[in-house]
Amino acid sequence: MYILESGQDYLERILMIKNKKGVVRSIDIANELNFSKPSVSVAMKKLREEHLIEVDEKGYITLTDEGYKIASGILERHVIISKMLISLGVNEKTALEDACKIEHDLSEETFQAIKNHYLNKIK
């Protein structure tokens, strides 16, 4: 299933908020991303329709198995790429911003090579 970059960003953010706060609501996503609540609501509707998230009667958002798989893959890319850039001397703010741009466009082969290189370097 192909997910647009914006959808990947939402899934990644849902996972990050879940890891930090334990629960996720649309308002949490809007606040974290500085997006309007209506914009987030539209995105959540699309992710629900794609069966990547579920929203309960209280408005709490959870990732489906497929949503979690996508979110955790994007988050792993973000973490590895930003740490690698920092290890190369890039300042943290720039590394985090650049990782957001890079994480979506790398092939799986290239990402695995970067990941293996980085992990072998820190051993």
pLDDT band at 5 (very low <50, low <70, confident <90, very high): confident
> Structure tokens of 95?
């590394």
Q: Do domains 5-69 and 71-122 have the same CATH topology?
A: no
pLDDT at 116: 92
Calpha distance 108→77 (Å, rounded): 10
pLDDT at 2 over 80: no
Model confidence pLDDT, tens digit, residues 67-123? 999 999 999 999 999 999 999 999 999 999 999 999 988 999 999 999 999 888 876
pLDDT at 119: 87
| Integer CA distances (angstroms), 20 to 16, 24, 28, 32, in order | 6, 10, 11, 12
Model confidence pLDDT, tens digit, residues 21-65? 999 999 999 999 999 999 999 999 999 999 999 999 999 999 999
Boundaries of every domain in the chain: 5-69, 71-122
CA dihedral 71, 72, 75, 81 (to 10 degrees): -130
Calpha distance 79→86 (Å, rounded): 11
Report the DSSP beta bridge partners of residue 55: 61
Q: Taking the model in full, what pTM does it have?
A: 0.89
So what's the architecture of 5-69 in CATH?
Answer: Orthogonal Bundle (1.10)
DSSP string of 41-70?
Answer: HHHHHHHHHTTSEEE-TT--EEE-HHHHHH
Looking at CATH, the fold of the domain delimited by 71-122 is given as Diphtheria Toxin Repressor; domain 2 (1.10.60)
pLDDT at 1: 65
Rounded mean pLDDT, 4-10: 91
